[in-house]
Amino acid sequence: MKRVITGNQAVAYGVILSRVDVISAYPITPQTTIVEELSELIANGRLNTRFLKVESEHSAMAALIGAATGGVRCFTATSSHGLAYMHEMLHWASGARLPIVLVNVNRAIGPPWNIWSDQSDSLSQRDTGWIQLYCENNQEVLDTILQAYRVAESVKLPVMVVLDAYVLSHTSEPVEIPTMEEVDAFLPAYCPDYPIDIQEPMAFSVITTPEYFLEFRYKIQKAMEEVPEVAKKVNDEFRSRFGRGYAAIERYGEGEAEVLLVTSGTVTSTSRTVVQKLKGNGTKIGGMKIKRFRPFPFEEIYEEIRGVRKLAVIDRNLSAGVGGIFAQELKASLYSREERPEIFSFISGLGGRDITPNLIEEAIQYTVEHPRPEEEILWLGLKK
Amino acid sequence: MIEIRFHGRGGQGAQVASKVLAVAFFHENYYVQSFPAFGVERRGAPVMAFLRVDQRPIYLRVNIYEPDHLVVLDPTLIGAIDVTSGLKQNGWIIINSHQPPEEFRHLKGFRTATVDATSIAIRNGLGSRTNPIVNTAILGAFSRVTGLVGIDSVALSIREEVPGKKNENAKAAREAFEEVRV
C-alpha cells in the first residue's frame, strides 16, 4: 500500500513492522512526532509494545540497554541535544554489543539555538561504535529501519538511522508500506545469544582489566569489518523481496566522470537534479551518495572512484578546526591508495540553510575550473 | 512540475491544506511533496506551507521560491506580508474573502479568485464563528479555478486526511467549488 506520509511517520511504520518489543523515549523537545505516533498506537492498543516514558535521553538509552540485555528488540528516537545527552550510553550500547536501533533526526546543536537540519549531532557520535546510515527520502527511511535490525542483530552492534530534520521528518511524500507478512518473512524474531535467564545466572559488563580490554575492542572492530558483507547480503535479499535497495554508496550520472559530487542525506536528492542538468556540458560530472558513514565504506568508495580526477564533497556539518567530516574521512581513506583524486571540501547548509541547486552547481563549477582547491575549506553561500 | 504555496496564520491549517491537496493529486497518480515552512509555529502569526506536484519522482528538496500558484487562507495577510513574492506571471491567487476578485486586482500580473470560505466553514459547523476552519473549503475553489485536480479527488482526500467532521469538510469543499468567483 502506498501512502503520502512524513519521514517521522515512515519511521513509525518501520518500527511497527519490525515488531519492536520495547520503546523508550524522552517525550519533550528535541523529540519529534516519531514517538508521538508510536505512543498513540500503543495507548490505543493497536501496537503490542512496551513504552517506557523516561526523564531524559540518557535514561532512554539506559533503559534500552537493560531491555536489550534482557533479550528483546528495542527502539528509540531522538535529535540534536537529546543525542548529545545520550552520548555516554551510546558507548555502553556498542560496548555491550546490543543490537539497538535508534533514529536520529539530524538537527544542529546550539548555541545559537537552532532546530534545523545539520549533521553535527550524529557525526559528533561517530566514535561511539554505532553503525550510522543516512537516508535520502522517506521510502529509504522506512526500508533502512527494517534492514537495520537484520544487520544489528547479525553483527551485534547498534545502528543509528539518520534523517534530515524537516526536509524529511516533516515532509510528506508517497511511501510504499510493506505488509506485516512481507516484513515477517524478511525480518525474523530476534534470538539473542545470551538473554538474561534466571535459571542460568550470568554477569554482564563486569570490570575488565587491561589484560582483556584490548580484546573486547578488537572484537568490536572485527564486527564492524563484517558489516559491509552482511549489509550487502541483507540489502540483496531486501531488493529481491521488495524491489528496492540501498547500497553503502551509490554512483549516479555519467559512468566515466572526471568530477564526482559527493553528498549524503537529502542533499543527494537535490544533487541528482543538478548532475542531470549538467549532463553533456563538457566536463563529465557524476554523483556519489554515501549512505553508510560507519563503518566507512573505504573499499566500496575506492572501487567507484577509479578514473575520477576530482571529488567535490559537500558537508552539512563542521568539525571546527578541521573542516567537513565526510571530506576528512575521504582524505584519510584515500591517502594510502595509488589513485588519489583531488578533494574539494565544501561546507554548506549548516543550521538548515537551503542547499539549493545553484549552490551545488557553484561547487561543481569551482571544482571544474580549479586544478586544486585554493583553500582547505570552501564555504558555499557564506555571507561576508 | 507545479509548485504551490499556501499562506495562512498559525492554527488555520495551512499545513493540513497542503497535505490534503497533496493526497488529492496523489489519487490522480501524481508524485507529490508537501511540507510546512520549517520553523517555530506561533498561533496567529503568518505561516506558509508548500506543495510540489509532478508526473515524475520529485528529487528537488529545497524551499519553493517561485511558486506557480498561491492559496491564501486569510486575506489580511495581503499587504501585511509580500504574498506574491516570487509568484510566476499569470499564476493563480486563490483567496479566502467575501470580496469579489476585482478587489485584489492591484496584485498585477496574476489571476485572482475569491471564495468566502469563512462563511462556508461556519454554515457547515467547521470550527467556531471566531475561529472557522477554512482550509478544506478553499481546496474546492483551487480545484475549480486551476482545473489541475478533480473535486472528487479533493473530497476523497479530505475524508482520508481530516480527523473529524469528514462529511462536513468534504461538503464545504464542494460548496466552495460551486461558489468561487474569478
Q: Where are the alpha helices (DSSP H) in A52-86?
A: 57-70, 80-85
CA distance B13 to chain A (A): 15
pLDDT at A160 over 90: yes
Phi-psi region of A140 (alpha: psi -120 to 50; beta: other; left: phi over 0): alpha
Residues of B in contact with A272 (CB under 8 A): 59
pLDDT tops 90 at residue B42: no
Distances, alpha carbon A277 to alpha carbons A48, A216, A313, B98, in Å: 48, 50, 19, 45
User: What does the pLDDT look like over A113-144, one tens digit per residue?
Assistant: 999 999 999 999 999 999 999 999 999 999 99
**Alpha-carbon distance A266 to A327, whole Å?**
17
What integer is the mean pLDDT of A258-285? 94
C-alpha grid cell, residue A221: 572492530
Identify the closest residue of chain A to B40 by CA–CA distance.
A115
∠ Cα B117 B119 B121 (to 5°): 65
What is residue A82's three-state secondary structure?
helix
Q: How far apart (Å, rounded) are the C-alpha atoms in residues A125 and B112?
A: 52
Residues of B near A (Cβ–Cβ under 8 Å) read 19, 22-23, 26, 31-36, 38, 40, 58-63
Min Cα distance A149 → chain B (Å) is: 28
Residues contacting residue B80 through CB under 8 Å, at least 6 positions apart: B46
Binary contact (A354, B36; C-beta < 8 A) = no
State phi, psi for A202 to the nearest 5 degrees: -140, 160
- The contact set of A with B (CB < 8 A) is 2, 4, 115-116, 165-167, 170-174, 266-267, 269-270, 272-273, 352, 354-357
From A294's Cα to the closest Cα of chain B, the distance in A is 25
All structural domains of chain A, each given as residue ranges with its CATH number in brackets, are 2-242 (3.40.50.970), 249-379 (3.40.50.920)
**Residue A285, amino acid:** I
**How close is the nearest chain A Cα to the Cα of B64, in Å?**
10
Could A174 and B32 be called an inter-chain contact, meaning their C-beta atoms sit closer than 8 Å? yes
For the ranges A28-37, A230-239, B37-46, B120-129, the lowest mean pLDDT is seen at: B37-46
d(CA B56, CA B120): 35
- What is the per-residue pLDDT across B61-119, written as a single tens digit (0 to 9) for each? 999 999 999 999 999 999 899 999 999 999 999 999 999 999 998 988 999 999 999 99
* Residues present in chain B in total: 182
pLDDT the model gives residue A39: 92
Percentage of residues in chain A with pLDDT exceeding 70? Answer: 100
Size of interface A-B (CB pairs under 8 A): 56
Mean pLDDT of the residues in chain A: 96
Residue labelled with grid coordinates 574539494: A344
Strand ranges inside chain A, DSSP E: 2-5, 22-25, 50-53, 74-79, 101-106, 131-134, 159-164, 173-176, 249-253, 259-263, 285-290, 292-294, 310-315, 342-347, 378-379
Helix (H, G, I), strand (E, B) or coil at A278: coil
R_g of chain B, CA atoms, integer Å: 15
Nearest residue to B41 via CA among B8, B78, B77, B3: B8
A51's grid cell: 513504552
| Strand B92-96, strand B111-115: pairing | parallel
Residue B78: closest CA among B168, B182, B7, B174: B7
Q: How many CB atoms lie within 10 A of CB B134?
A: 27
List pLDDT tens digits, range B119-173.
999 999 999 988 899 999 999 999 999 999 999 999 999 999 999 999 999 999 9
Cα(A124)–Cα(A106) distance, integer angstroms: 11
| pLDDT over threshold 90, residue A28 | no
Q: What is the pLDDT of residue A339?
A: 87
User: For residues B109 and B88, what is the distance between their CA atoms, to the nearest angstrom?
Assistant: 9
Contact A273 B32 (CB under 8 A): no
Q: Are A102 and A125 in contact (CB under 8 A)?
A: no
What CATH number is given for B2-179 in this structure? 3.40.920.10
Tell me, what's the pLDDT at A13? 97
**What residue spans define the domains of chain B?**
2-179
Shortest Cα–Cα distance, B180 to chain A (Å): 28
**What whole-number distance in Å separates Cα of residue B128 and Cα of residue B113?**
25
Q: How far is CA A312 from the centre of its chain?
A: 21
High-pLDDT (> 90) share of chain B, % = 88
Inter-CA distances, A46 with A13, A41, A50, A279, Å: 12, 5, 12, 49
In B, minimum Cα distance to A265 occurs at B61
A173, A272, A314, A360: best to mutate for the B interface, most B CBs within 10 A: A173
Q: Give residue A46's pLDDT band: very low, low, confident or very high (50, 70, 90).
A: confident
Residue A297: pLDDT band (50, 70, 90) is: very high
Task: Evaluate if residue A298 carries a pLDDT over 80.
Answer: yes
Look at residue B19 and tell me whether its pLDDT is greater than 80: yes
User: Is-contact A160 A124, C-beta < 8 A?
Assistant: no
What is the C-alpha to C-alpha distance for residues A140 and B31, in angstroms, rounded to an integer? 16
Whether the pLDDT of residue B41 is over 80: the answer is: no
CB of A117 within 8 A of CB of A106? yes
- Give whole-number Cα distances, B125 to A229, A253, A380, B157, B173, in Å: 59, 53, 51, 19, 13
Residue-wise pLDDT for A54-86, tens only, equals 999 999 999 999 999 999 999 999 999 999 999
pLDDT value at residue B126: 95
